[in-house]
Amino acid sequence: MSSLLSDAKALLAKLVSFDTISAKTNLPCAEFIRDYLAGHGVETTLLPSDDGIHANLFATIGPRGDGGIAFSGHMDVVPVAGQPWDTDPFEMVERDGRLYGRGTCDMKGYLACVLALVPEMKKRALKRPLHIVFSYDEEVGCTGVKPMIAEFGKRLPTPGIVLVGEPTLMTVVDAHKGGYRFRTEITGQAAHSSKPQLGASAIFAAADLAMELRRIEERLKARQINPRFDPPYSSISVGSISGGVAHNIIPPHCEMNWGIRALPGLDVPALVREFDAYAQEHVLPPMRAVSDDCAIVMTPTGVLPAFSSGENSAATSLVLKLVGQNETFAVPYGTEASHFQAAGCSSVVCGPGSIDQAHQANEFVAIGELERCLTYLGRVIDTASE
């Protein structure tokens, strides 16, 4: 294990050194992984984004064709701007049994463990294919993995089981909430603030709409509770409100960005219709009485379906056996597992590190977590060899 762990740590240090913040290119990172795999005789497919600055990566070790087991992870990381890091976030630092750096936990630690085991995968006489499925832009709405999944059954084989390595402290996660994001744009009517009756405040309208979202959330608490989740209800948040011109002008425009963390089974379209009806029937008419140009327009900006692997699914049953556990968990954050599951791939989430460290300054993964992950992945290889 010591040699394997050293390899994983060295690979993680290299992966961390690539600044793969979602807004930037991930090509150097993807090309490094491609070249590393090529050095072990593994052919890799890079699938570039439409803008050419990002790429997904797909590789297969063992028999060709559909089925088999996929190791899924994302190469992008969240920004570091404004965070009080003690060290360079893109230079991995080892201290007190922890590895610090952006992405060590979320989720380059898992990628490094997968890559460290590639030589072992190559040595085995695999009976089932093992796929490496690394994506871009997971952190901005899983936008990268969707076009890659669209190639399953075409340019790429369709995995039978997908193991998503998001940080779960190596516990088995078989369900997570969905994430839905929206932008509501409000057009009001400008006027001098001393004559408010001549204007229609877009900011007041946004405040009214934000409070309606609070009221909808309270109603959701009474409609659907699932104690597996924390919190056990579908939650709604307003991430930002921006608008206005000056202190003495009734604001003619405002933009509100908001989202829903939805329990599996929530009828999100019905909730959105409920909110839009309130906007059109209660908030907009007084504004239209001032000006026919007033408007409230809502636009979806991101969709991540809720995930549930299903009782006794192939993926969940396998991973429970391999990690020696008999309990599954549900989490409030989202992963790419929901997209794989929707594509017909039995999926589950299990990976090293704690989500509490993800996206934080001084992000870290415990070395012990990597050791546990390497043991688990080794057992996956054993399964594919049987």
Residues noted as catalytic:
76, 138
Direct distance between the N- and C-terminal alpha carbons of the chain, in angstroms, rounded to an integer: 22
The token pair at 183 is 């932008």
Q: How many whole angstroms separate alpha carbon 35 and alpha carbon 43?
A: 9
At residue 74, what are phi and psi to the nearest 5 degrees? -115, 145
Q: What CA–CA distance (Å, rounded) separates 353 from 336?
A: 17
Residue 365, SS3 per DSSP: strand
Of 273, 281, 275, 330, nearest to 307 by C-alpha is 330
User: How deeply is 332 buried, as exposed, middle or buried, from its count of CB atoms within 10 A (0-12, 13-18, 19+)?
Assistant: middle
Beta bridge mates, 349: 164, 173
Q: How far is CA 380 from its chain centroid?
A: 24
Written as one letter, the residue type at 364 is: F
Which residues lie across from 120 on neighbouring strands?
none
> Residue type for 170, please?
M
* Residues present in the chain in total: 386
Q: CB-based burial of residue 363 (10 Å sphere; 0-12 exposed, 13-18 middle, 19+ buried)?
A: buried
Helices (H), 152-283: 202-223, 268-278
Closest-CA residue to 364 (of 33, 86, 30, 6): 86
Residue 343: what are its φ and ψ, rounded to 5°?
-85, 5
Q: How many CB atoms lie within 10 A of CB 269?
A: 9
Q: Which DSSP helix (H) or strand (E) runs through 342?
A: helix 337-342
